[in-house]
Amino acid sequence: MGHDTCIEFQDVVAGYKDFMILNNLNLKIQRNAITLLIGPNGAGKSTVLKTLFGLLKPRQGKVLFDGQDISGATQKELLAKGIAFVPQGRNLFGQLTVWQNLELGGITLGTKTTHERIPEVLEFFPRVKERINSQASALSGGEQKQLEIGRALLLRPKVLLIDEPSIGLSPIVVQDVFKLLRKLVDQGTTVLMVEQNVKSALKVSDDAVALESGRCVLHKPASELLADPNIERLFLGGHVAKASI
Ligand SMILES: Nc1ncnc2c1ncn2[C@@H]1O[C@H](COP(=O)(O)OP(=O)(O)O)[C@@H](O)[C@H]1O
Ligand SMILES: [Mg+2]
């Protein structure tokens, strides 16, 4: 099977203070695809994204991007290489306008490039575009998430890391966000997404990775997992099941 690896975790150990969360994680993320990261609360899903984005430094092992070791690189270096991160929750400057939030997102690009790219990015988000002069905090939850994604897209990332984008959004808006991710992949982006909304996320994803205690316990095509009659029992237990129906 010919697959092209974009990101690779090699035996990565990472955590907080003395408490290790990723325990010799080995994982290959396919280029130009959506990889969905699932697993119980506390499994280390967000920690995987934070390690990739330089918020945590591996204690052991390596993280490779395009075959290059990026373990310990700074966020600035990672952004310059084309890795962008949309964290969980709300991450806008609520008092500032939509336009100002976008301008700040392009701070590493310089004003000229930023101003050229803002209209391009806004083409993806007509609702946000209409509200360009509104205070960010006045947008709906869905529009705010779209603005956050737009801010990340200003950098024309090769890799987009996105943590639980569906939280607080209506099912229709979630579908819009998923469709947008699909479009980005069609244009050459690689997406690594954490999502509790497992069933609908699997439908837009190419690959599924399940983590448990900081280890990869499953890695297969999303379509295969979706067709697995045991999926409910395996991954949709407890509150995850409720959230995904
Ligand atoms: N900043 C932090 N300091 C200490 N422990 C943390 C921190 N962030 C997360 N943890 C712990 O690391 C574990 C894994 O967290 P996380 O990667 O956020 O899990 P997931 O995203 O899979 O729910 C959890 O037990 C959590 O309490
Ligand atoms: Mg998390």
211 domain residue, yes or no: no
**DSSP bridge partners of 162:** 86, 193
**Are 22 and 194 spatial neighbours (Cβ–Cβ below 8 Å)?**
no
Q: Which ligand is nearest to the CA of 48?
A: 1
pLDDT at 241 over 50: no
* Pairing label, strands 207-212, 215-221: antiparallel
Give how far Cα 79 sits from Cα of 54, 84, 228, Å: 10, 6, 37
Among 80-84, 159-163, 165-169, 230-234, name the one with the lowest average pLDDT.
230-234
Q: Whose CA is nearest to atom 11 of ligand 1?
A: 42
132 domain residue, yes or no: yes
**Measured in angstroms, how far is the CA atom of residue 110 from the centroid of ligand 2?**
32
Q: Burial code of 145-179, b = ≥16 C-beta within 10 A, e = fewer? A: bbbbbbbbbbbbbbbbbbbbbbbebeeebbebbbe
52 domain residue, yes or no: no
**Measured in angstroms, how far is the CA atom of residue 42 from the centroid of ligand 1?**
6
* Pairing label, strands 19-30, 5-16: antiparallel
Q: Which amino acid, 207?
A: D
Instruction: Pick the atom of ligand 1 nearest to 88's CA.
Output: 21
Q: Burial code of 64-81, b = ≥16 C-beta within 10 A, e = fewer? A: bbeeeebbebeeeebbee
229 domain residue, yes or no: no
> How high is the pLDDT of residue 36?
98
Model confidence band, residue 2 (pLDDT cutoffs 50, 70, 90): very low
162 domain residue, yes or no: no
121 domain residue, yes or no: yes
As a whole number, mean pLDDT of residues 10-34 equals 96
pLDDT at 102 over 90: yes
pLDDT at 1 over 50: no
Q: What is the mean pLDDT of the chain?
A: 92
Residue 182 has which token pair? 């699909």
As for how many domains the chain has, the answer is 1
The strand order across the sheet containing 60-65 reads 19-30, 5-16, 60-65, 68-69
**Best substitution site from 9, 13, 16, 57 to test ligand 1's pocket, by max atoms within 8 Å of Cβ?**
16
User: Greater confidence, 230 or 173?
Assistant: 173
**Measured in angstroms, how far is the CA atom of residue 20 from the centroid of ligand 1?**
10
Q: What are the pLDDT digits (tens) for 121-159?
A: 999 999 999 999 999 999 999 999 999 999 999 999 999
45 domain residue, yes or no: no
**Measured in angstroms, how far is the CA atom of residue 139 from the centroid of ligand 1?**
29
Q: Which amino acid, 243?
A: A
Residue 232 has which token pair? 């409910």
**How many percent of the chain have pLDDT more than 90?**
85
pLDDT at 237 over 70: no
The 3-state secondary structure of 69-108, one letter per residue: ECCCCCHHHHHHHCEEEECCCCCCCCCCEHHHHHHHHCCC
The ligand 1 site (C-beta within 6 Å) comprises 16, 21, 39, 41-47
Distance, CA of 175 to CA of 170 (rounded, Å)? 9
The pair phi, psi for residue 54, each rounded to 5°, is: 80, 15
Total H helices, total E strands in the chain: 11, 10
pTM of the predicted structure, to 2 decimals: 0.93
Q: Which amino acid, 64?
A: L
Model confidence band, residue 230 (pLDDT cutoffs 50, 70, 90): confident
User: What is the residue range of 149's domain?
Assistant: 85-156+180-188
Q: What are the pLDDT digits (tens) for 56-90?
A: 999 999 999 999 999 989 998 999 999 999 999 99
135 domain residue, yes or no: yes
Model confidence band, residue 100 (pLDDT cutoffs 50, 70, 90): very high
